[in-house]
Chain A
Amino acid sequence: MKPAIHDFSPPYAKTTGVKWLLNELVDHLWPWSKQGWRQHKAIQTAGLAMAIAATTAWGLAANGQLGASAVIGWWLGWSVYEIIIRLQCKPYIKDGPWWGHQYRSAACMDMICYVMFKNLLIGAVLFIALRNLGLLQMVD
C-alpha cells in the first residue's frame, strides 16, 4: 500500500544503503510526485512550462547569452515554483543529520529554506562547473 500524501516520510524512508542514497538524490532533484502531479492540472501545465523555460535559460546561459541578473531571475523563479510544487507533492524535509532517516512535515518556511538553500548549492556547483569549462562567463 502506497503511503498517503499526508504521511510525512517519503516512501523510500525505510530503504537503506545505496538505494536510499539514490532515492535521496532523486528526491532533491525531482520536486514532483505522481500523486501531486496527477491531482493538479494547472500545476502540471505550469510545471511543463517552467521545465522548458528553465532548460532554455540554462542553454542560453551556457552559451554566454544571458547576463547575471537574467540567470539569477530564472534561479529565483524556478525556486519559487519548486517551493509551491514541493508543498503539494513532497511536503516533508529531513530532520536531523543528512545521513539519518528522520523526516518531518515541512512548514512553508521550512520549504522556502530547503529549496532556496538546495538550489543555491546546485546553482553554485553548476556555475563553477560551467565557468571552469569555459561555457559561462559572468562579467561584473
Chain B
Amino acid sequence: MNTQSSAASSAFHAIKACMVLIGWYFIVTLSFSAAFSTAALADSDKETGPSEQEHHAKESHSGSYEAPLPVNLSTDPDLCAYVPCHDVFPNADHFSPRKGRPAYVEAYRNKNGKHKESDNNEDDGERELIGYVFLSTDIVDIPAYSGKPVVTLIGMNIAGKIVGVKVLRHSEPILLVGIPESELTKFIKQFVGKYAWDKVEIGKARAEGGYIGIDAISGATVTVISENQVVMRCAYEVAKQVGIIKAVPRPQAKFTSTSEQHTWDELLAEGSVQHLKVSPADVGLDNTGQSYIDLYFGYLNTPAIGRSILGERNYAGLMADLKPNEHAIFIVANGAASFKGSGFVRGGIYDRVQVSQDMDSFTFRDTDYRNLYNIRATGAPEFNESAIFIIRSTSFSAAYPWSLVFLGNKVDKQTGTRTFANFDREYWLQDSYMEGGRPVVIKPDPTWLKIWKSRIWEIAAFVVILLFTTVTYANRDWLVRHSSRKEKRWVSIPKYAIWLTSIGFIGFGLMAQPSITQVLTWFHSILFQWKWELFLSDPFIFIFWLFIIVTVFVWGRGLFCGWMCPFGSLSEILYKAAGAVGLRRFQFEPPMRWHNRLKWVKYGIFWGLLAVSFFSMGLAERLAEVEPFKTTFLVGLFNRSWPYTLFTATLLGLSLFTERPFCKYLCPLGAALAMPTTFRWFGLKRKAECTTCTACARGCGPQAIDAQGHIDSRECLLCLDCQILYYDDHACPPLSKERKLREKSGLPLTRINAAGYYIPIHPVPAKRANE
C-alpha cells in the first residue's frame, strides 16, 4: 500500500516538476527568441548595402519567411498591383493584366522613353513589348523542404532570357533561423542571364548534355534544388506559351487493329481508364464526407478504348471530325467541385484541367470541348460531369506517358490565401494497343534520387563509418577485456577516431547533424502527410536516422549520443583536450544532487517544443535554436550574429571544464532518444556487488550510475568505462579482492567469465583424478 501511494506521489511530483521546468524553459526561451529574432534580422541585413536595407525596410521587417501575401494574389487579373513587378523587370514602364494559361503578364516600355501612368492600352503604338513577368505559383506546384512552395516572381525578356527573380514568400525553416536570407537572394541572382531553355543544375557544370551549374546554398540543398526547378520550369512554360520556344513534334502512336470492346472494370484494370481523386483536405477544406473531385479519364483515339467508351457510331463520328495530330480524351467526374470550372465562361479557357507531357502542357479552350452524353462501357457508374477534350498539337503523342492535371485552389486556413495545387495522374497506353508496343522511355530521376546519385561516394563513406562504429561497439566485450582502467586504448583509439570523423566529416563536411526539428517534422508528417521524398531528399540525415532508430532500440541512445553525434563528440573532445593540456584541475562534475535535478530540463524542452510545434511550427523552429548545431556546423560560429555565437561559444567553453553540459541537461534530441532507450534490448553488464560498490559510479562521466549502482540507460552514453572496470581485476573491488585472495592462496588466476568473476576452480576428487 505504501509502495502504491509513494509511487503515485512521486508521479505527481514528477509531473509537477515537469510543468515547472517547461514553464521556466518557455519564459527563458521566449526571451531568447526575441533576442534571436532581432539577431536574425541583423543576420539578413549584414550582407546587404544601405540602399538595399532601406528597400527591405520599406517592404517588410521580417524578410520573406512566411511573409503575408494578398488573399487574391492568385486570382486578381492585375498581378502587378500586388507584387513588385518592377523589381524583376526594372526597364518596364507598364504591365498588362494577367494573360494566357498558365498566367503571365506582359512588360512594356514607352518608345519615347517617357513614363506614362495608368494607361491600360498597350497596343497604342507608343509602347513596345519587352518581356514577361510571372508568378511561380500560377504555373507550377513544386514544394520545397517545408512542403510549401517558394513563391517566386520572375521576369523574362522577349528573347527568353531571365532578367530578374525575387522570392516573395518561403516557409523554409533553415532560412529563418540558420542561413541568412541574403544567401537565398544571392542564390536566385544566379538565374539572371540564363535562358528559358537552358539546362541548369545545382553544382558543377557538366559538358556532356550541356548542363550549366549554379552554386548551392550549403545546408539548404533541397530548397535550392526545388527553387531551380521552379524558376526554370516557369520560364520554359511561359516561353513556350508566348512562342519563344517552338513546339517540338513527337513521333505519333500507330494503333493496332485490336477493337474488341471492354467493360468499365476491364478498362480500369488494364489502365486504359485512370482514376484521380482529390479529397477536401488536399485543398485545405473541412471533410464533408464527399470527395472534392473523383475523376476518371482516358485516351479515345485508340479504337478499342474509344469504341468501348463511346460506342461504335459515336467513336466513328469523333474520329471523322479529328484532323491529323489531333487527340481526344474523355473526362468524367463526381464530387463537390467541377473540373470544367468557370474560367471557360469568362475567357473561353478551361482552367481546372490540363494535360502535361514532359515539359509540355496542353490547355483546353471552349473550341476544344465536345459533349459526352454517356459512357457505353458496361458497368460504368453515373457521373455528374462529363466531357471530351481535343488536344491539337504535334507535340503531344499518345505513344509516350502523359498526365492529366487537375488544378485545385488550395486555401490556407490561417491567411485565407488561395494558391494553385496540382494533382496529376499518369496515363500510358498499353503495349497491346500500339504497333511495336510502348517505346523505350527513360524517365528523369526524381529529385531525391538525383541527390543520392550525385553524392554516392560520400554516402558510401558515411555508411562505412556507421558500419565501423556498429561493429566496433558490437565487439565491446573484446575491447573492454583488453583494456584496463589505466590503459584504455582499445576503447579510446576507435572512439577518438570516430569522434574526429564525426566532427570533421559528418559535422563540418556533410553537415549531417541530426536535430530535434527532424523529430518534430516526423510527428507532423505522421499526423498530416507522410512524404518519403521529403525524408529521402537529405541522404545523410535519412541514413543517420535509420542508424539511430536501430541502435537506440538495440543498445540505447548512447551509441549515437556518445559516439556519433558531431556536437557531442566536439563537446567531449574539448573536455578531453582541456584535461590533457593542464586544465584538469579546473574540471568538475556537477554535484549528483544538482545533476539529478538538471537532467530533467532536457525532457521539458523536448515536450515543450513538441507541444509548440502543433500550434506553430515556425515558433518551434525558433525555439529549437536551443540546439547549437546550426551555428556550429551549418552556418559557422562566426557567420551568425552575436547571440547565437555567444550561446554556442558558452556551451563549448563550458565543455572545457565539465563533460558534455549540453548533452546532459539541454539537448532535446537526447531527451527524445532517451525515452525509447528505456526499452533498449541489450544493456551493460552489472555484478551483484554493484548495488553496494560505487567504484564505477565515481568514474562515470555522464553521471548515469546512481547510489544503488543502477545504470540509468537514458543518461548512459556508453562510454564503456564501467565495463572496462567490470573486467579489470586491479580496479573492480570484488574482482580485485578475489585476485588478492587467490594470489595469497597460490591459486591460479583463471579467465574472467561473462559474469565478471574468475572462472571458479572446482577441486577434482583425488580418487577420480587417479582414474
Contacts and interface: CB of A to CB of B under 8 A. Distances in A.
B4 A5 contact: yes
A111 B614 contact: no
Contacts of A58: none
B286 A98 contact: no
B594 interface: no
B280 interface: yes
Interface string B1-33: 101100110111011000000000000000000
Interface string A77-118: 000100110011001011111100000000111111110110
B448 interface: no
State the main secondary structure of chain B at its contact with A: helix
A88 B528 contact: no
Given A84-B8, A138-B528, A140-B529, A98 B287 contact: no
B714 A124 contact: no
Nearest to B529: A140
A83 B527 contact: no
Contact of B527 (A88, A97, A138): A138
A98 B681 contact: yes
Contact of A108 (B11, B279, B681, B682): B11
Classify the interface of chain A: helix, strand, loop or mixed.
helix
A95 B529 CA distance: 34
A117 B676 contact: yes
Interface stretch (A17-25, A49-57, A64-72): A64-72
Given A80-B15, A137-B280, A138-B527, A91 B7 contact: yes
Contacts, number: 90
B14 A98 contact: no
A139 B413 contact: yes
A8 B289 CA distance: 48
B683 interface: yes
A117 B674 CA distance: 11
A110 to B, nearest CB: 6
A70 to B, nearest CB: 11
A117 to B, nearest CB: 6
Contact of A109 (B4, B8, B14, B527): B14
B336 interface: no
Contact of A96 (B15, B524, B683): B683
A16 interface: no
Contacts of A95: 683
B410 to A, nearest CB: 11
B279 A137 contact: yes
Interface string B123-145: 00000000000000000000000
A122 interface: no
Interface of A: 5-6, 36, 39, 64, 68-69, 72, 80, 83-84, 87-88, 91, 93-98, 107-114, 116-117, 124, 127-128, 134, 137-140
Given A68-B614, A69-B614, A84-B12, 9 more contacts: A5-B4, A39-B1, A88-B8, A96-B682, A113-B676, A114-B678, A117-B679, A137-B287, A139-B281
Interface of B: 1, 3-4, 7-8, 10-12, 14-15, 279-281, 284-287, 289, 413, 524, 526-529, 614-615, 674-679, 681-683, 714
20 contacts: A36-B4, A64-B287, A64-B289, A83-B11, A87-B4, A87-B10, A88-B8, A91-B7, A93-B678, A96-B682, A108-B14, A113-B675, A114-B679, A127-B526, A134-B279, A137-B281, A139-B281, A139-B286, A139-B528, A140-B529
